[in-house]
Amino acid sequence: MSDISLSASVRSNLLTLKSTSDLIGRTQDRLATGLKVNGPSDDAKIFFEAKALNDRASTLNEKKDGIDQAVSSVSVALEAVNAIDSIVDQLKGIAISAQSASTAAEFTELNSQYNSLISQIDNVAADASYQGLNLVNGTGSTLTVNFSETTTSRLTVSSVDLTNASTGLAITTGATLSATSLNTCAINQLDAAIATLSSKAKTLGSNVALLQTRLDFNQSYANELETGADKLRLADITEEGANLVALQTRQQLGISALSFAGQQEQSVLSLFR
């Protein structure tokens, strides 16, 4: 049995309808997904350019999470410094009060308060941990924050000893407030501790500010990369909607043209009957 032969006009109309149907399917996919490039087959160049931008944004967001945690780690240390500084201020107030004390009972009470507060310095320092890292309870610990995977840009924060050990604030405990000369010695120690705490607070505060700046930068940078990828891949919904209406109209016209072509062939056939 021989194949059915179609006239040139019918074949042309069928090809046009198939092309229009394919375009309608593509436009409907774009409207459904919101993307004009869904995969490499749509446009390999644009697809992989957008993928590279999104991959870079994803990496920056991973770094951003690490930076965000570092902000918390250093902020906890800074809060501990401020708390210890407040305790040292109280100690200095007690030492100054002792200078005007006149009885043994007063000295005893003031010494008790003084030594009790000193023990709280170590308690605060020991409690200032964040995810297992303590930046004020002794030296030897380090926080390293990498800002980028493509450069060596990073921040390293080394821990300090703000306990009342000889390597730390070294405030003398015991009956230190029983005489004016000893009061003066205690006040000198406290002033030195206050100066140390002020210095550490400035350093930690500077680190927090830098980390926050890099956190904001990474977030903004990642957003720009994602926006750039969207510009490459996102479909213009308004334009695609208009395209769909135009293609559906073209499809109806094609169906009508195919019908007319068939009618013409039937009219020719009727001449031979």
Q: 10-57 pLDDT, tens per residue?
A: 566 657 666 666 666 666 676 666 666 777 877 788 888 888 998 988
Q: What confidence tens digit (pLDDT) does each residue in 100-149 have?
A: 777 888 888 888 888 889 989 999 999 999 999 999 998 899 999 988 87
Task: Answer yes or no: is 45 within a domain.
Answer: no
In degrees, rounded to 5, the angle at the alpha carbon of residue 32 between the alpha carbons of residues 28 and 35 is 95
State the pLDDT at residue 203.
94
Q: Is residue 49 situated within a structural domain?
A: no
Domain count within the chain? 2
Same domain assignment for residues 204 and 95: yes
Report the distance separating Cα 135 and Cα 126, nearest Å: 10
Same domain, 219 and 238: no
Domain that holds residue 138: 62-232
54 occurs within a structural domain = no
